[in-house]
Amino acid sequence: MKESVILSLENVTKQYSEDSKPAVNHVSLSLLEGDILGFLGPSGCGKTTLLRLIGGLERPQTGTVAIGGKVVCDRTNWIPPENRDIGIVFQDYALFPHLTVVKNVAFGLKNLSKQQVEQRVSATLKLVQLTGLEQRYPYELSGGQQQRVALARALAPQPKLLLLDEPLSNLDVQVRLQLREEMRDIIKAAGTSAVFVTHDQEEALAMCDIVGVMQQGHLEQIGTPEEIYTHPASRFVAEFVTQANFLPARRQGHFWSTEIGKFDVKTKDSPETGEIMIRQEDCILQLCTNSPLVIRSRRFLGREYRYCLHTPSGQEIHIRTGIDTAIPEGATVQISVADDLVRIFSDYTQKG
């Protein structure tokens, strides 16, 4: 079966006012049917605006939006949100407080008989595991349960595309982690495609099939979670997604020299200086009496230790190791990292 494109954006730009920077700047992408796409980036980078442009809650200055092969917005066409075949879930649930769970979920169902509505609501509540709570009001539910109702309400009309704006951000950590897993299963079981906004990198990597990393309105990189994590396209993506360490590096022949050692890294272009990216989990620590690297702190996080080291120049390096590597604070150590795990970002690759 050929996979078809459910969502495509071409050159979409949105500027809220003439004297402000574009909130969304020349974004193009496409999403295959059945996939979950995540927009990931810091607060204010344009994630919500981009989601609202897809949903028809905002209108772009330029660009084309197509859903399910149908243009819903371009220079001459405009299809309003209610005719875009989408479902929307917001961070604050936005349930109707005076309606029961059943009535909230039935709200968007049009052109169906009473019996069909009952069937659809009951099947959707089963999908989100709320069977038994049909007659409750929102205030009688926990945050996690309210968000399940909101999800059911968005899914009940069986939209082509589900849009979710930070749906887990208002929940406690425990509930958030559990619902994150279930939400992915529910969306997959419903057979719908989805666009999911979050500022939490772990959430994006865990929930989504494709992740688009945004900065200041730009889509910096789009790819599978594995691609984004292992081959970040820019310094920004590397820092935001992997929380890696960056150290100044200088080319010496075909090596890159840093204050913690030399690395054999290939780069496409040949800059003389740059920054080396070293992921926290890629380092091996060994006691070494005459090393200038000092362990300033060691924190036990259950599954791992998190170390903070100081280099001679005063820079901090964060490292995570298994709990079998227990080196005391104050000790001096050597760091080893496999050459193929580090990456170089030069000014050139940052711009490109």
Ligand X SMILES: Nc1ncnc2c1ncn2[C@@H]1O[C@H](COP(=O)(O)OP(=O)(O)O)[C@@H](O)[C@H]1O
| Site of interaction with ligand X (CB under 6 A) | 16, 23, 41, 43-49
Give me the least distance between CB of 14 and ligand X, in Å please: 8
Give me the least distance between CB of 46 and Mg ion, in Å please: 8
| DSSP code at position 131 | T
Give the interface size with Mg ion as a residue count (CB under 5 A).
Answer: 1
Q: Which is nearer to ligand X, 17 or 270 (CB)?
A: 17
43 binds, among Mg ion, ligand X, none (CB under 5 to 8 A by kind): ligand X
Give me the least distance between CB of 336 and ligand X, in Å please: 38
Give me the least distance between CB of 189 and Mg ion, in Å please: 27
CA-closest candidate to residue 198, choices 152, 241, 251, 254: 241
State both tokens at 228: 């984004």
Q: Which is nearer to ligand X, 41 or 232 (CB)?
A: 41
Largest Cα–Cα separation, the chain: 80
Give me the least distance between CB of 53 and Mg ion, in Å please: 13
Residues in 24-53 at the binding interface with Mg ion, rule: CB under 5 A = 48
Q: Which is nearer to ligand X, 50 or 210 (CB)?
A: 50
Q: Which is nearer to ligand X, 168 or 265 (CB)?
A: 168
Give me the least distance between CB of 58 and ligand X, in Å please: 8
Q: Which is nearer to Mg ion, 48 or 245 (CB)?
A: 48
State both tokens at 69: 């092969």
Q: Long-range contacts of range 26-32, CB-CB < 8 Å, 24 or more positions apart? A: 26/63, 26/218, 27/63, 27/217, 27/218, 27/219, 28/219, 29/212, 29/219, 29/222, 30/5, 31/5, 31/6, 31/7, 31/193, 31/195, 31/210, 32/3, 32/4, 32/5, 32/6, 32/193
β 304-310/273-278 pair status: unpaired
Give me the least distance between CB of 48 and Mg ion, in Å please: 3
| DSSP code at position 146 | H
164 binds, among Mg ion, ligand X, none (CB under 5 to 8 A by kind): none
CA-closest candidate to residue 67, choices 204, 224, 199, 192: 192
Q: Residue 174 and residue 143: Cα distance in Å, rounded?
A: 12
120 binds, among ligand X, Mg ion, none (CB under 5 to 8 A by kind): none
Q: Which is nearer to Mg ion, 48 or 221 (CB)?
A: 48
C-alpha separations of 104 from 125, 133, 303, 326 in Å:
11, 12, 42, 54
Give me the least distance between CB of 255 and Mg ion, in Å please: 43
C-alpha separations of 247 from 110, 240, 257, 317 in Å:
58, 16, 10, 9
Q: Which is nearer to ligand X, 213 or 337 (CB)?
A: 213
44 binds, among ligand X, Mg ion, none (CB under 5 to 8 A by kind): ligand X
16 binds, among Mg ion, ligand X, none (CB under 5 to 8 A by kind): ligand X
> 130 and 152 in contact (C-beta within 8 Å)?
yes
| DSSP code at position 139 | G
Q: Residue 295 and residue 191: Cα distance in Å, rounded?
A: 50
Q: Which is nearer to Mg ion, 198 or 346 (CB)?
A: 198
* Residues that bind Mg ion in the complex, under the rule CB under 5 A: 48
